[in-house]
Structure 1
Amino acid sequence: MRAKKNEWLTHEYFRTYRIANAVDTIMRDPFSHLRHLEGLTVNDGIYDFLPHWQKDSALHKFIRYVADEILMNDTDGPTRVPFGPDPVHPDWILPVDAAMLQYGIIDEPLFFIPDEPAPGGTPGSASDASEPNGPYHVVNACYDYLLNLRWTQVYEDLMSRITDEVFYVMFLNRRALANLNQFLSGYVEEVTSDGFNADEASLADLFVRDGELKRVRPTMWARRAVFYRDRGRCTSCGTDLSGLIDTLSVGNYDHMVPLARGGLNDVTNLQLLCENCNSKKSDNIEDPSNRYRRWY
């Protein structure tokens, strides 16, 4: 993930809530979507989530994966967006190009959806992808375009912008974050040191034992993000912590999914708890509070 240029985010809200809703829906019942999540978890995909306190958090990775799937699904139809000065007979582009235009990543569409093929052709024939009259010509052309686009810098830039925007909206949702981390914890618990090859040997140093990551002090940026997200209050009982303790005291940053239960050292796995509530929770997995203070 490219480094942030500064602390400010220009929010265009292009499909932000649609993607956020898809992410939340999957998080609520991930096991019903396992087939769609294989790309994140199979072939040791969980290894990307293991390093401590990545700014490219578990939620960033999940959002990027879901957003990419949504854009790929747009080609199966395809989903069309009008483009051009003629409202009656516009050119048609894919949502991915519309997004890149809105974010200022490109100045002109990179691809126009071809006209529908004339009747004829045999479904499934070898000529479908190349012959203009093939019944799957449009879908195949759209799919091939996006498949190739995914290897380009402009697509990487788009994914970065979309991911940042959806993360901004979703980071407040502690229940969704806990659901994500609980899903990932099942894969972390299955990680064993003898499963690493020579190139992955350094990953073994992240663990205190098989299936349990070491406890590592949260970084300053992670503590600040969680403190301000939770308004300096215990998310369980509401105790104001801002004037009672060091606002960045490590002891009040609770892993929603405990490390002993496969939890990650990840900013999305933290919540602010007072000492009493933290002690009561211990190493249990509990639903985080869904109570939030009003803006005004």
Structure 2
Amino acid sequence: MRAKNSEWLTHEYFRTYRIANAVDTIMRDPFAYLRELEGLTVDDGIIDFLPHWQKDSALHKFIRFIADDIFMDDSHGPSRVPYGPDPVHPQWILPADLAMMNYGIIDEPLFFIPDDPSGGVPVNHPEGDGNTDPYFVQNACYHYLERLPLLQVYEDLMARIADEVFFVMFTNRRALASLNKFLSMYLDGFSPEYFTEEDKELTKLFAGEGELKRVRPPIWARRAVFYRDRGRCTGCRVNLSGLIDTFDVANYDHMIPLARGGLNDVTNLQLLCERCNKRKGDRIHIPSNHYRRWY
């Protein structure tokens, strides 16, 4: 779980748009990536998404999953960066170590890519055509990256990257709705009876089979959505900032309704006026892609 130390974010933009683009691409057609997404959804993976109004939102969780996969792909090569004072014969490191140094998480690399096969044991990777590294390099990189998620420094890296990509993607309501629609497939029809004794407490979250209880969005979630949507109904664009209660809970609509497997998650909210909210009801509508210009 991420710990919020400040309302301010220092943005380093390390692979931010590459990861955001990967998240958006997958959410546009998740069925084409079901095999890749198994690690997120199998073995009751949906349980991590169920608790109401987590600041570690569904999007944060999904970003970390995709970012980790991208870093793991570096084990095949040729993703590497030079390190050291000698520009002619540098040592080589993986982007994960460079990222951790950029964020100030570590002071020096934890791993150097080997330049000789000493101790290398071939694995079932085919010999490359020049676009992949030799076996012994792939082995060494893979085993390092396989162990890296066990370290706190890597968890800290994923938290920083998730915050940065979230900052970029939170304005994209259609991508957020696609993510929540994908997750709703696993929640829809999910019965609390499936829970093990260890997870029985989670039954309190449900109103019925496949439907979470309606829980009032906390002020931080309403504030985030209100300012993201610029205080206007995303349907008809009427100005809602003049209301007596700017953060009136009635104006916060679940893009994927709870009755359709939607989550009580900040990424599943949009700002609607009373008329548009009533018109939408418990149906799934594609969110508006109209956004107010900055200037």
Superposition TM-score tier, normalisation by shorter sequence = over 0.9
User: In structure 2, what is the equivalent of residue 198 of structure 1?
Assistant: 197
Any idea what the Cα deviations from partners look like across 1:248-296, whole Å, max 9, x if unmatched? 1010000000001000000000000001111111111011011100111
Tell me whether 1:184 sits opposite 2:183 in the alignment.
yes
Give the match's secondary structure for 1:254.
strand
Any idea what the Cα deviations from partners look like across 1:136-165, whole Å, max 9, x if unmatched? 111111111111111011101101110100
Any idea what the Cα deviations from partners look like across 1:93-118, whole Å, max 9, x if unmatched? 00000101111111111111001549
CA distance in 2, matches of 1:122, 1:57: 40
User: In structure 2, what is the equivalent of residue 99 of structure 1?
Assistant: 99
Map residues 109-258 of structure 1 onto 2, 5 A cutoff.
109-117=109-117, 124=123, 136-258=135-257
CA distance in 1, matches of 2:227, 2:67: 27
Whether contact under 8 Å (2:122, 2:136) holds in the other structure is no
CA distance in 1, matches of 2:122, 2:198: 45
User: In structure 1, what is the equivalent of residue 25 of structure 2?
Assistant: 25
Whether contact under 8 Å (2:75, 2:138) holds in the other structure is yes
Whether contact under 8 Å (1:46, 1:188) holds in the other structure is yes
Residue identity in the other structure for 2:272: L
Cα distance, 1:122 vs. partner? Answer: 9.2
TM-score by length of 2: 0.94
Residue identity in the other structure for 1:82: P
Any idea what the Cα deviations from partners look like across 1:13-51, whole Å, max 9, x if unmatched? 011000000000011111100001011110000010001
Question: When the two structures are aligned, how many residues end up with a matched partner?
Answer: 286
Whether contact under 8 Å (1:59, 1:177) holds in the other structure is yes
CA distance in 1, matches of 2:165, 2:175: 13
User: In structure 2, what is the equivalent of residue 276 of structure 1?
Assistant: 275
User: In structure 1, what is the equivalent of residue 5 of structure 2?
Assistant: 5
Regions of 4+ moved over 3 Å: 121-125
Whether contact under 8 Å (1:74, 1:94) holds in the other structure is yes
Any idea what the Cα deviations from partners look like across 1:229-253, whole Å, max 9, x if unmatched? 0010001111000003411101000
User: In structure 2, what is the equivalent of residue 69 of structure 1?
Assistant: 69
CA distance in 2, matches of 1:221, 1:244: 18
User: In structure 2, what is the equivalent of residue 129 of structure 1?
Assistant: none
Residue identity in the other structure for 1:178: A
Residue identity in the other structure for 2:43: N
TM-score by length of 1: 0.93
Shift in alpha-carbon separation, 1:199–1:87, aligned structure 2, 3 A: same
CA distance in 1, matches of 2:122, 2:260: 50
User: In structure 1, what is the equivalent of residue 131 of structure 2?
Assistant: none
Cα distance, 1:87 vs. partner? Answer: 2.1
Tell me whether 1:40 sits opposite 2:45 in the alignment.
no
Give the match's secondary structure for 1:36.
coil
Structure 2 residue runs of 5 or longer lacking an equivalent are 125-133
User: In structure 2, what is the equivalent of residue 128 of structure 1?
Assistant: none
Tell me whether 1:265 sits opposite 2:264 in the alignment.
yes
Any idea what the Cα deviations from partners look like across 1:143-190, whole Å, max 9, x if unmatched? 111111110111011011101000000000000000000000010013
Whether contact under 8 Å (2:256, 2:268) holds in the other structure is yes
Residue identity in the other structure for 1:174: R
CA distance in 1, matches of 2:162, 2:52: 20
Give the match's secondary structure for 1:110.
coil
Residue identity in the other structure for 1:71: F
CA distance in 1, matches of 2:183, 2:104: 35
Whether contact under 8 Å (1:78, 1:139) holds in the other structure is no
User: In structure 1, what is the equivalent of residue 128 of structure 2?
Assistant: none
Residue identity in the other structure for 1:51: P
CA distance in 2, matches of 1:236, 1:187: 28
Whether contact under 8 Å (2:122, 2:139) holds in the other structure is no
CA distance in 2, matches of 1:122, 1:66: 28
Structure 1 residue runs of 5 or longer lacking an equivalent are 126-134
Whether contact under 8 Å (1:257, 1:285) holds in the other structure is yes
Shift in alpha-carbon separation, 1:15–1:122, aligned structure 2, 3 A: closer
